[in-house]
Structure 1
Amino acid sequence: MGGKYRITGDKYPRMRRPRRRGKLILAASASVVALGLAGWGTLQLIDVFTGGDRQASAADHETDCPSAKPSAPAKTLPKPAKITVNVYNATPRSGLAKKAADELKKRGFTIGEVGNAPAAYDKKVAGTGVLLGAPSAVNGSFPVLGTQLQGTVSKTDARRTADVDLILGTKFKALSTPQSAAAALAALAKPAPAPSC
């Protein structure tokens, strides 16, 4: 071989390998990814220490708080006129059942039987009163009638009719005032607020 590649003595030509562009592209990509991760991590730390984005959208809030649901619609409670109330007196004082029944009638309730309490309850109700009715009355008639007399105890029996018994106890003095009863009824009909996260 002649020319500049001619081998003479113990010296060999030093030929440079062709540069590989792959390593250069890989190194550039790795630095871009490292810088991106460092920037993202910095933003996360800033959010942690500053409280994050306080103006998150409602959609973001729902994904952050899966238990958050729109507030429940207002409860559909029966109107007083749709509730038939039997008023019984379980105290030794006479005339209480008639007096309470007349007041409930003025407030729009339908009155059924009025008289002395059955033997199972006669002189055995220590509180202000007992509401007694079918299991279906627990979420319907009981709460509405309970607004008229504070401190009542609710009990269910095996009846299949929609009427409710109000048995007046020894601590009964008078029904709630019409204003406080109306306020309690309005609060009962309001929807429950949505839970906060």
Structure 2
Amino acid sequence: MSMLTPSGMGGKYRVTGNAYPKMRPPRRRGRFVAAMIASVVVLGLFGWGALQLFHVFNGKDSGDTKANAAPQNPTCSPAPVPTHTAKLAPMPQPAGVTMNVFNATPRGGLAKSTADELAKRGFKVNKFGNAPPGYDKKVSQSALIVAGPAGEAAAREAGTQVAGSTVKIDPKRRDKMVDVMIGTAFSTLATPADAAKARIVAANPPPPKPSCSPSAHPATKH
């Protein structure tokens, strides 16, 4: 009988051998991992504190960073000066506007049909035909109204008849004649009701809006 076999036990329950089994305590990995995490946190806090002390002794603090990173306020520059005169001349009635109607598109017949309709609305049509070389097939908008300084008010009146048209003042022109250059975006003349609304806007154009650009806050010294 082995010394490990209790008294009275035998047979298949007999324990043999001459060495005691070694009983090891369970490994505590959880505590080890928690200790490692705590050490890392402590080291991180220590490093952060050291960095703050470095900034303080060098005359910097977190307030400077926040001041520099503050959102920017927009600074508005003055509104652009309009191309027309400061005081707009009163717009004439259609009977007081003499115009030339030119077709600047590849489509045929637009000059005549447009001139006929404008004549029905009371405008005086001097002539119609293809646009001069400087404008032929170079007008992308619905219409370009060209006039000299003396015809600026008449040009605005003519522009009310074509939605999306723009007025161009040629300083070299001395007459009051207005040239209506029909562009590629042209489809039809504005309805009389829409033309009347456009006339109100053209007679009292809104002032141009100022352009705004962001500007940084001045740095605050501590």
- TM-score > 0.5 by shorter chain: yes
Partner of 1:142: 155
Q: Which residue among 144, 161, 164 is the counterpart of 2:178?
A: 164
Partner of 2:22: none
Q: What's the offset of the Cα at 1:135?
A: 1.6
**Distance change (3 Å), C-alpha of 1:191 and 1:120:** closer
Partner of 2:136: 122
CA distance in 1, matches of 2:205, 2:187: 32
CA distance in 2, matches of 1:164, 1:144: 10
**Root mean square deviation, CA, Å:** 2.1
User: For this pair of structures, how many residues does the alignment match?
Assistant: 118
Gaps of 5+ in 1: 1-74, 193-197
CA distance in 2, matches of 1:125, 1:117: 10
Identity over the aligned pairs, expressed in percent?
46
- Contact 2:102/2:128 (<8 A) preserved: yes
Shift >4 Å, 4+ stretches: 186-192
Is residue 84 of structure 2 the alignment partner of residue 84 of structure 1?
no
CA distance in 2, matches of 1:125, 1:87: 13
**Distance change (3 Å), C-alpha of 1:91 and 1:191:** closer
Matches within 5 A, 1:51-90: 76-90=90-104
Q: What's the offset of the Cα at 1:145?
A: 1.0
Gaps of 5+ in 2: 1-88, 207-222
Q: What's the offset of the Cα at 1:79?
A: 1.2
CA distance in 1, matches of 2:155, 2:180: 10
CA offsets, 1:27-53, max 9 Å, x none? xxxxxxxxxxxxxxxxxxxxxxxxxxx
SS in 2 for 1:179: helix
Matches within 5 A, 1:1-197: 76-138=90-152, 140-157=153-170, 158-189=172-203
Which of the pair has more CA radius of gyration? Answer: 2
Q: What's the offset of the Cα at 1:184?
A: 2.4
- Contact 2:102/2:111 (<8 A) preserved: yes
Q: Which one-letter code corresponds to 1:78 in the other structure? A: P
CA distance in 1, matches of 2:200, 2:142: 22
CA distance in 1, matches of 2:202, 2:183: 24
